Amino acid sequence: MSVVAALALVAPGCGGDDEPSSAVSPTTSAASSREPGDAQAPIRVGLAIGSGRSDEPSLDLLARQGLERARNELGVGSRVLTSRTSAGYLRNLTALAREDYDLVLAVGRHRSSSLAEVAARFPDDRFAIVDMGQGDLKGSPANVRGLLFREQEAGYLAGYLAGLVTRHESGSRQVIGSVGGRKIPSVDRYIAGFRAGAQAANPEITTLNAYAQQFVDQAPCKEIALDQIARNARVVFQVAGQCGLGVLAAAGEKNVRGIGVDVDQRYVGEQVLTSAVKKADVAVFQTILALQEGSFQGGEDIVFDVASGGVGLGEVAADVPAEIVSQVNRIQAEIAAGTIVGIPETVR
């Protein structure tokens, strides 16, 4: 009780003063502001992620790997803070900003409001957010860079592979399916690319598509996938996060192939043909590289694509014939070179 009674005496007029001082934290002894690219003092990058499992791939985990790579190859200082709720997330971002990290990284849509708030309170610090447009943040803060991905290119590659595999493996009825979480732009970019890629590889192919209307519960996604498989789909592409694991489960049960999304989901099982991957590790690494070279700028989005190695395919199933893999690799090179253009971004 005395604890709180003492606090009752503490009144307004605390905090909210001028510049953030060098806060003494348990880990960083001193933290003066450093210029990026300064050879003597290595730049320091802080990353705030959720506390998901560390043995299951996720964008959080990829971002962390990107930061670790930057620490090993570029010699930057790094600190990773995890939290379960957005309350802790805001605290972590605040702590990193207060401790004058040269770049503070956040990952994912769920964290966008926390980042927008902290970025607005620390206008002199630099921030970046993976998988979220800077313009979509509240107030479009000028010190934040959005790291986006050209999902349609990854979808295109996955679709191309699926088209070839279907022609190779099934007879006259060539059908593939995709299961989206909701009809939102990032999901539709994957699906539009997937369908375009499949058509390009195999003009006779029929593509099915449906949305589960959510990203969490696996059952609806599994149901849709089972329905598509019953309609002769030989490959099903999940674009529905957690829900989509139900798609891969359905593919496993019915002995057809599934395609993972966002991260390499080969770990799910042998039924996974490949995954359409957002390489958050590449995005984070390249962003830190840009910071070190002095070309980092807030207030804009950087879109990572096949050419920059930011999107692509995950591990391909071992039983896929080598000539199909090399054909897909050729397509990837063509996308990177800019010869394949106009991949659609919207479904219908």
Partner 1 sequence: MNEPPARAGTPQDGEHAPSVASQLALWQKAGGLLVPLLTTVFAFLVGGLVVLVTTGKNPLTTYRAIFEGSGLNWFLEVGAHELRLPFTETSVPFPWQTNDLESLAALNLQQTLITWVPLVLTGLAVACAFRCGMFNIGGQGQYLVGAIIAVWVGSELPSLPGLLHVLAAIVAGALTGAAWAGIAGFLKAVAGTHEVISTIMLNWIAVWVGVFLFGLGGPLQNDTQPFVPVSNDVLEESKLTVFWGDPFLQGLHVGVFVALGALAVYWMTLNRTTFGFQVRAVGHSPEAARYGGISVARSYFLAMALAGLFAGLAGAIDIVGWQSRLNTSDIRTSSLGFIGIAVALLGRNTAIGIGFSALLFAALVVGTSTRNLDPEIFRPELASNLTLLIQGLVVLFVGADVLILYLLGRGRRARRRAVASPQE
Give contact residues for partner 1 (rule: CB under 8 A).
1, 3-4, 6-17, 20-21, 23-27, 51, 54, 80-88, 90-92, 94-95, 98, 109-110, 112-113, 117-118, 120-121, 136, 138, 182, 184-186, 213-216
User: With contact defined as beta carbons under 8 Å apart, do 177 and 236 qualify?
Assistant: yes
Residue 243 Cα to chain centre, angstroms:
16
Contact 296, 126 (CB under 8 A): yes
Residue 43 Cα distances to 34, 104, 144, 316, angstroms: 7, 11, 17, 37
Q: Are 313 and 276 in contact (CB under 8 A)?
A: yes
Taking the C-alpha atoms of residue 161 and residue 32, their distance in angstroms, rounded to an integer, is 51
Residue 71 or 254: the one with the smaller Cβ distance to partner 1 is 71
Residue 114 or 202: the one with the smaller Cβ distance to partner 1 is 114
The alpha-carbon radius of gyration of the chain (Å, integer) is: 23
Query: Residue 228 CA to chain centroid, in angstroms?
Result: 27
Minimum Å gap between C-beta 205 and partner 1 is 30
Least Å distance between CB 211 and partner 1? 10
Write phi, then psi, for 185 (nearest 5 degrees): -55, -45
Supply 159's token pair: 């679709």
Question: Cβ of residue 189: shortest distance to partner 1, in angstroms?
Answer: 12
C-alpha dihedral, 28 to 32 to 37 to 39, nearest 10°: -80
- CB closer to partner 1, 80 vs 325: 80
Q: Which is nearer to partner 1, 93 or 198 (CB)?
A: 93
Q: Which is nearer to partner 1, 110 or 173 (CB)?
A: 110
Residue 51 or 297: the one with the smaller Cβ distance to partner 1 is: 51
Q: Are the C-beta atoms of 261 and 275 separated by less than 8 Å?
A: yes
Query: CB of residue 226 vs partner 1: minimum separation in angstroms?
Result: 24
Nearer to partner 1, 16 or 171 (CB): 16
**How far is it, in rounded angstroms, from Cα 204 to Cα 209?**
16
Residue 304 to residues 58, 124, 280, 281, 301: CA-CA distances in angstroms? 17, 26, 9, 11, 10
Shortest Å, Cβ 96 to partner 1: 8
Q: How far is the CB of 142 from partner 1 (least distance, A)?
A: 17
Question: Which own/partner contact pairs does 145-148 have at CB distance under 8 Å and 24+ positions apart?
Answer: 145/287, 145/296, 145/297, 145/298, 145/299, 145/300, 145/301, 145/302, 146/300, 146/301, 146/302, 147/280, 147/283, 147/284, 147/287, 147/301, 147/302, 147/304, 148/301, 148/302, 148/303, 148/304
CB of 77 to partner 1, least distance (A): 12
User: Which residue bears the tokens 């989005």?
Assistant: 301
Give whichever of 213 and 327 is closer to partner 1, judged by the CB atom.
Answer: 213
Write down the least CB distance from residue 346 to partner 1, Å: 14
Nearer to partner 1, 75 or 185 (CB): 185
Shortest Å, Cβ 91 to partner 1: 6
